Amino acid sequence: MDRLEAMTILVAAVDAGSLSAASRQLHIPLAKVSRRVSDLEEHLGMRLLLRGTRKLVLTDAGHDYVASCRRILEEIAQAERTASGEYRAPQGELIISVPTMLGRIHVVPVVVEFLRTYSDIRVRLQLTDRNVNLLEEHVDLALRFGELPDSSMIATRVALLRQVLCASPAYVKVRGAPTKPEDLVSHDCVAYEGFWTGSYWAFGTNTIPQAIRVSSRLVVDSSEAAIIAATAGAGIARAFSYQVDDLVDAGSLVTLLAAYEPAPMPVNLIYPSQRQVPLKLRAFLDFSVPRLRERLGYKSP
C-alpha cells in the first residue's frame, strides 16, 4: 500500500464530504478510493470512517489521524516547493480568488502588469462572488469583503468601500425618491443574493444602525446584473460606489439616501498563515497592494 497516496485520498474525501466526491475530484475510480481508505483502516487496525451515513463521518480516531495526515502532507508539499526553488526565486502558479466585478475592473489590470514583471509566475484567477475556502480549495490568495472572523488568515487591507443606493432617473420620476430607509418597503428594489447583501439592507453611520427588509420584485445573483437592472428602471439597487460612479456621472443613475449610508466596508487580501510565505505570493503582495490601494483610493493608517 502506498500510504502517502492513501492519506491524500482520505484527506480529499474528508474535504469533499464523501468518497464519491473525492473520486470525481481526484479523477480516480470510486472503487480505488474506497479500497485505499479500507487499506488504511486495516493497516492501522482501527475504524476511521462511519459507513452507512449520507455524509462522510469520521470516528474520533479518524479525526486525529486526518489532522496528522494534513500536517504530513503539508510538510511534504513544503519540502517539494523548497526543492523546486519556490522559496529561492518567485516562480510557479498562483491561484487567486476575487469578487467578479471588482476583479474585472481593478484586479485583472494589476495581474496583467504583474505577469509582465515576473515572467516565471503563472496566475490562475478565479472571478467569483462566492467566498472560497482557501485551504480546502487550494487557493493561495483571496480578495475578501467585510470583517474577517477567521484568525488563521493573514489580512492586508486594500480598500474601504462606500455602499450606495441607486436608481435610474426614470424610476425616481415615476415613483419618487425615498427620504428615509423605511420608505424602501414601498419601493421596488433589486436584491443581490451575494456574499454582502440580500433582502435586508443595513443603514446608519451617524444614526442608530438599522436593517430594513426591502421589497424585491427582482432578485439576482450578480452585482453587475443588479446595476444593469437598476439602470434599466427595475428599481433601487445597492452597490459599491466604485461600481456606479461612472453611471452616476453620466446621468444614467442617481444615488439615494446618502445621509443613511452604512459604514464603509473593508476589503482585504487574505492568505493562510504559514511558516514561510512562498516568494511568488510575497512578490504578488508587494506588487499588488500599493496598486490596488491607489486604484481604490485607500490610504493605510
User: What is the pLDDT, as a whole number, of residue 87?
Assistant: 57
Q: How far apart are CA 243 and CA 161, in angstroms?
A: 10
Enclosing H/E stretch for 110: helix 108-117
Mean pLDDT lowest for which of 52-66, 176-190, 238-252, 253-267? 52-66
Q: Quote the longest CA-to-CA distance of the chain.
A: 75
Domains of the chain, earliest start first: 3-83 (1.10.10.10), 92-159+265-296 (3.40.190.10), 163-260 (3.40.190.290)
150 phi/psi in degrees, rounded to 5? -85, 105
Q: What share of the chain is helix, strand, coil (3-state, %, to 5)?
A: 45, 25, 35
Q: How far apart are CA 233 and CA 170, in angstroms?
A: 6
Long-range contacts of 244-247 (CB under 8 A, 24+ apart): 244/164, 244/166, 247/166
pLDDT per residue over 170-189, tens digit each?
Answer: 999 999 999 999 999 999 99
Is pLDDT above 90 for 77? no
pLDDT per residue over 218-229, tens digit each?
Answer: 999 888 899 999
Residue 291 grid cell: 496598486
Please tell me the pTM assigned to this model: 0.67
User: What is the pLDDT, as a whole number, of residue 89?
Assistant: 66
Mean pLDDT lowest for which of 54-68, 230-244, 249-263? 54-68
Q: How far apart are CA 124 and CA 113, in angstroms?
A: 15
Pairing relation of β-strands 57-58 and 92-98? unpaired
In this prediction, residue 152 has a pLDDT band, given cuts at 50, 70 and 90, of confident
